């Protein structure tokens, strides 16, 4: 199971859905608890929405930026039948870092810590790209 490059990609997809559901529940809670939002929360821009909701929305957007490269690399590795332990380790490292980034983005206010995790995850992704290119014949 942990040797298939699609499994970490599935975990990233699940993470994206979880953050999306979190956004839905936070929106519904806001609509129920605050009469100003009874008719709904505009998707963008919503300058008067609580920061907690903005953070979740921003994280969803982040999950559709660099992770797209991760998905492509994962599918390429799978299709090409690459069996490289370093690439698999990098793949799982990227997923763990992105999950940590989502948690920090939504629940922790330290942008410095979140920024470090973001940069490290993208560095891991870049090394994964280089590693994949290395395995190509």
pLDDT at residue 39 in the model:
73
* Structural class in CATH, domain 6-135: mainly alpha
Burial of 96 (0-12, 13-18, 19+ CB in 10 A): middle
- Sorted by where each begins, the domain ranges of the chain are 6-135
Mind listing the pLDDT tens digit for each residue in 72-126? 999 999 999 888 999 999 999 999 999 999 999 999 988 999 999 999 999 999 9
Q: Is residue 63's pLDDT more than 80?
A: yes
74: closest CA among 86, 61, 88, 60? 88
Name the helix (H) or strand (E) containing 137: none
pLDDT in tens, 32-47: 887 777 777 666 656 7
**What is the Cα Rg of the chain in Å?**
17
In the predicted structure, residue 29 carries a pLDDT above the cut 90: no
pLDDT digits (tens, 9 = 90+) for 70-79: 999 999 999 9
């Amino acid at each position: 199971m942990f040797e298939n490059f699609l499994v970490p990609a599935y975990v990233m997809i699940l993470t994206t859905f979880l953050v999306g559901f979190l956004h839905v529940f936070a929106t519904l809670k806001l609509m129920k608890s605050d009469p100003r939002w009874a008719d709904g929360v505009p998707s963008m821009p919503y300058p008067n929405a609580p920061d907690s909701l903005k953070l979740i929305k921003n994280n969803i957007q982040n999950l559709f930026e660099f992770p797209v490269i991760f998905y492509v690399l994962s599918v390429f590795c799978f299709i090409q039948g690459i069996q490289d332990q370093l690439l698999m380790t990098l793949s799982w490292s990227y997923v763990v870092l992105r999950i940590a980034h989502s948690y920090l983005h939504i629940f922790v206010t330290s942008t410095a810590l979140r920024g470090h995790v973001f940069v490290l995850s993208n560095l891991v992704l870049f090394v994964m790209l280089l590693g994949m290119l290395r395995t190509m014949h």
